[in-house]
Amino acid sequence: MKLSLIKVIWENIEQFGCEHFILKYTEKEMIAKGTIISLENHNPHIVNYQVHLDQSWITKKLEIKSDENEPLEIHSDGNGHWFNREGNQLGNLSGSVDIDISATPFSNSLPINRFDWNPNQRRDFNMVYVSVPTLELKKVPQSYTYIERDGETRVFLYQCYDFKSYIYVDDNGLILNYPELFKRKY
């Protein structure tokens, strides 16, 4: 059984920093909130985000703000159509169901938790990639392959363009270890 509230702290190994993350389950939705503090090119940043998900882990709304840019808010109908705060469709993101915020490992939980997985099963996704700290949006192809279960840890192979990494998640689909990028501290 999943908890109604999960708290996590991730260390950003690649860039000095960390994230305080909360996932709250309600009767109607899940709300993920993160505060990220990092150092990029000798410049400190703070980013706050909130993601509203339905009970099937489909992103419905993203609110994100960076200390360098105006806040960004986008909405989804859950079928690959995205809209800005004013309700205008963002056609360049069409076909993407999940988001990928560059500065957090939470994003990897979205496609992982939307499906049941069998060993060696690969799934391809188009993601709404949010570059931090600029908050630029673009559609990016990614894939996940379920490798195995090792005790209470599930192992996936993550791929995006030429980048590949094994990622290790708990039973809630939250990252335990994303080698050389993120490591769960709590």
Q: Domain residues of the chain, as ranges?
A: 5-184
Contact partners, residue 19, CB within 8 Å, separation at least 6? 8, 9, 10, 12, 34, 35, 36, 37, 103, 104, 106
pLDDT of 41 reads 80
Mean pLDDT of 135-162: 97
pLDDT of 42 reads 85
Share of residues in the chain with pLDDT > 70 (%) = 98
What is d(CA 62, CA 46) in angstroms, rounded to the nearest whole number? Answer: 17
Q: How far is CA 154 from the centre of its chain?
A: 17
Least confidently predicted of 32-46, 52-66, 92-106, 163-177: 32-46
pLDDT of 3 reads 53
What is d(CA 14, CA 137) in angstroms, rounded to the nearest whole number? Answer: 22
pLDDT of 1 reads 40
Whether the per-residue pLDDT at 155 is higher than 60: the answer is: yes
Whether the per-residue pLDDT at 2 is higher than 70: the answer is: no
Per-residue model confidence as pLDDT tens digits over 39-75: 888 889 999 999 999 999 999 999 999 998 899 999 9
Return the beta strands (E) in the chain as ranges. Answer: 5-12, 17-25, 30-40, 43-53, 59-66, 72-76, 82-84, 98-101, 122-131, 136-150, 153-160, 163-169, 175-178, 182-184
pLDDT of 61 reads 98
* Count of other CB atoms within 10 angstroms of residue 150: 9
Three-state SS at 114:
coil
Mean pLDDT of 123-149: 97
Mean pLDDT of 138-155: 97
Whether the per-residue pLDDT at 90 is higher than 70: the answer is: yes
Mean pLDDT of 87-93: 98
φ, ψ dihedrals at 109, nearest 5°: -70, -25
Mean pLDDT of 19-41: 94
What is d(CA 47, CA 65) in angstroms, rounded to the nearest whole number? Answer: 6
What is d(CA 113, CA 116) in angstroms, rounded to the nearest whole number? Answer: 8
Do residues 74 and 81 lie in contact, with contact meaning Cβ atoms separated by under 8 Å? Answer: no
The more confidently predicted of residues 43 and 127 is 127
Question: Chain-wide mean pLDDT for the chain?
Answer: 95
The token pair that represents 4 in the structure block: 């109604």
Taking the whole predicted model, whether its pTM rises above 0.85 is answered as yes
What is d(CA 57, CA 186) in angstroms, rounded to the nearest whole number? Answer: 22
Whether the per-residue pLDDT at 122 is higher than 80: the answer is: yes
